Amino acid sequence: MNIPAALQEQQQNNQELLRTIDLLNTSLREQQQQLQQQQQQQQLLQQEYAELQQEGQTLSNRLGAADATIKKLRAQCDAYKALKASHEQLAAEAAAKEKVVSQLEAKKQEAQVLQQQQQQQKLR
């Protein structure tokens, strides 16, 4: 059984085409797997990005709240400093008035002593 040369050549061409198709199919499957892996990685990255964005927003909110607290504390501190300065001024004024009162009391006592001495001299 002799196969004509043209038919044999056609069979060889067909076998080569089948091998080429198999290679192309294998290559296509590999590319599809790579594409699928890349898509999965992209989805993971997108999820991670969304989580990071949410975390960033949360941190931004916390930072805003902390900033508001700092401003409130600074205002309270400024009010305390003003109150302390006012208290110190009032304390200084009170001390000065107390000194004047003490001086007046001392002069009053001197005057009373002097008056008693004068009365005693009149009685002699």
The reported pTM is 0.52
What tokens appear for 50 in the block?
A: 């969304």
Q: Is residue 106 part of a domain?
A: no
Residues 105/110/116/120 CA torsion (nearest 10 deg): 170
Q: Is residue 101 part of a domain?
A: no
Give me the number of domains the chain comprises: 1
d(CA 8, CA 39) in angstroms, rounded, equals 46
Q: Is residue 116 part of a domain?
A: no
Q: Is residue 103 part of a domain?
A: no
Domain interval for residue 4: 1-94
What is the residue whose two structure tokens read 């009162």? 101
Check residue 49 and give its pLDDT: 98
Q: Is residue 33 part of a domain?
A: yes
> Nearest CA to 91 among 116, 83, 64, 46?
83
Q: Is residue 11 part of a domain?
A: yes
Q: Is residue 112 part of a domain?
A: no
d(CA 19, CA 103) in angstroms, rounded, equals 122
Q: If pLDDT is split at 50, 70 and 90, which confidence band does 5 have?
A: confident
Q: Is residue 10 part of a domain?
A: yes
pLDDT surpasses 60 at 44:
yes
